[in-house]
Structure 1
Amino acid sequence: MASIFKRNTPQRLKQIFQRPVVHDVNSVRAYRFPTYEITLMAHGECEDDLTKQFTGWIDSKLSPFGVEQAKRAGKIMAMDESHFHVAYTSELERAQATVKHVLEPLMVQPKVFATWRLNDRHLGDLSGYNRSQMALVHGERKIKEWSEEYSAMPPIIKVENPQYKSIMDNMHKKHLTTDQIPRAESVQMVYNRVLPYWENIIVPSLKMRNKVIVIAHNTSLCALIRRFAELSEMEAVHVSLPPAIPFTFTLDNHLKIIKGKNVKNSNKTRAQFVQSPQAANANVTAATPSGVGTA
């Protein structure tokens, strides 16, 4: 079964996601009160994953395998009779294409909203380069620090970076001002930009009794998990969502986690995909879904 935990995760942290239901009406967390459900899912494999590039705000498309991952997740949720009233995603194509393929088989099509606040972490001047290239320039220790430490920020993207113009142009098309576009981000900065969207948009939607799905990026989704699971900065770095596997979290009336679960068998491995002649020969492109609003 897929897990959101990395290796060597402290057992105490795992227990946070397996809290027993409390039936004491005097308890602050009396789960007899209304509960809310939110499903989180990271996008499928993108083209830059194949070359192990730092992607961030680069608008990389889904790979053929990523399309297969998203379609399979949608079929499994349809078989499970999952339904949603509203879906939230980022302004990046790999997330929006995942939304399209995941929601397509569902009986009821939710309203979809896209926001830059759910974008992936901006990886600054690492954008467009692979890890081995950057390790030669900055050293493996520094790359690890930028990747794993909560407040560490990579070098800001330079105008000379080959990806600078495309990132800026793409976000300008999404109606972001130059001042709104970061030049690099730490994990903490991602949390700070996701939090207002959680509080001002997603929480009111949940309180209207909507069933919500958020399909975005590992970094922005983990920011949401950190919020409703009340994780510390050190605990938050142990959480990572695998691609295209939906996780449903039940929240109490204070919007704190009661439990989390994933849809079983919602994905193949890459090896299983490649071994399928039909999939290997398919010429599949990831299209940006139509009808995506902004919020």
Structure 2
Amino acid sequence: MPHLILVRHGQSEWNLEKRFTGWVDVDLTGQGKLEACKSGEYIKELKLNIDYFYSSFQLRAVNTLKFIQDTLRSNTKPIRAWQLNERHYGALTGLNKNEMSEKLGEDKIHEFRRSWEIKPDPLSRNNPYHPINIDAYKTIPKNKIPDTESLKDTYERVIEYYNSDIHNKLLDNKNILISAHGNSIRALCKFLFKLDNKKISLLEIPTGNPLLINLNSKQEIIECKYLDKDRAKNLLIF
């Protein structure tokens, strides 16, 4: 029975500042590092052998995985995939969520954040926050780097990668851990839990709380739970 563990990175510097982060490459806060270490402790209690470790290209996910692997004392080389990056928030990138709610209205910001197909205006490619101007993404083909994304766009790149690189490993009964982001994990959950476009907007993904998913031979979920029960969110599946 393969196990899939999804971990949203620990609190980032821009989580703390309530800014739209997207593809900007910010690091973890002190609390975020503690959340990552605690994630490692919860995973260690499972006594599972993790065969593959994945993260996005982004520092907050990369470092979350590093803390987890250090806690597990695992030397397995992680696989980094830009397809697991956070959703690109376009022209909202870097702006304060509370200030934009006051300016545009809470309903409009909620629509930008959680609707399935609506995307913010594109971010100028001259903006220093645009991914083409960030060193971490220099190896990604420029035609693959977005100017803005909807959740649907994020879903399509995440699930294409999952089906091409991760799915077969689970079929081969391998245990996999993915360190990623709120929206890339939300995309995976939509696919795995078979959530509709409306329900996915209700799914909350807490930082630094491992989500354990146990699958049968048909890739059907037989168990799904957050390891830190005190910080668990409704999974909308059971």
Q: TM-score, normalised to structure 1's length?
A: 0.73
How far did residue 81 of structure 1 move?
2.1
User: Match for 1:264 among 195, 207, 228?
Assistant: 228
Is 2:207 aligned against 1:225?
no
| In structure 1, distance between residues paired with 2:136 and 2:71 | 32
Aligned residue pairs: how many?
A: 231
Aligned match of 1:40: 6
CA contact (8 A) 2:125 2:147 kept: no
User: Match for 2:97 among 118, 122, 131?
Assistant: 131
User: Match for 2:167 among 203, 217, 234?
Assistant: 203
Aligned match of 2:80: 114
Aligned match of 1:6: none
- Pairwise CA RMSD of aligned residues? 1.9
| In structure 1, distance between residues paired with 2:185 and 2:82 | 13
CA contact (8 A) 2:90 2:148 kept: yes
Moved more, 145-154 or 135-144: 135-144
1:55 to 1:258, Cα distance in 2 relative to 1, 3 A: same
Correspondence 1:50-69 to 2 at 5 A? 50-69=16-35
How far did residue 266 of structure 1 move?
8.2
Which 5+ residue runs of structure 2 have no aligned equivalent? 232-238
How far did residue 99 of structure 1 move?
0.2
| In structure 1, distance between residues paired with 2:136 and 2:32 | 26
CA contact (8 A) 1:122 1:185 kept: yes
Amino acid at match of 1:74: G
Q: TM-score, normalised to structure 2's length?
A: 0.89
Q: C-alpha offsets along residues 82-137 of structure 1, whole Å, 9 cap, x if unaligned? A: 33010111000000000000111214433310111000000001001102333355
Correspondence 1:1-295 to 2 at 5 A? 35-159=1-125, 161-164=127-130, 167-170=131-134, 173-264=137-228
Task: Kindly indicate which of the two structures has a greater share of residues assigned to helix.
Answer: 2
| In structure 1, distance between residues paired with 2:106 and 2:198 | 21
CA contact (8 A) 1:72 1:266 kept: no
| In structure 1, distance between residues paired with 2:36 and 2:85 | 18
**Higher radius of gyration, 1 or 2:** 1
SS of alignment partner, residue 67 of structure 1: helix
| In structure 1, distance between residues paired with 2:63 and 2:114 | 28
SS of alignment partner, residue 202 of structure 2: coil
| In structure 1, distance between residues paired with 2:93 and 2:153 | 17
Identity among equivalent pairs (%): 28
How far did residue 174 of structure 1 move?
4.2
CA contact (8 A) 2:158 2:188 kept: yes
Which 5+ residue runs of structure 1 have no aligned equivalent? 1-34, 268-295
How far did residue 160 of structure 1 move?
5.2
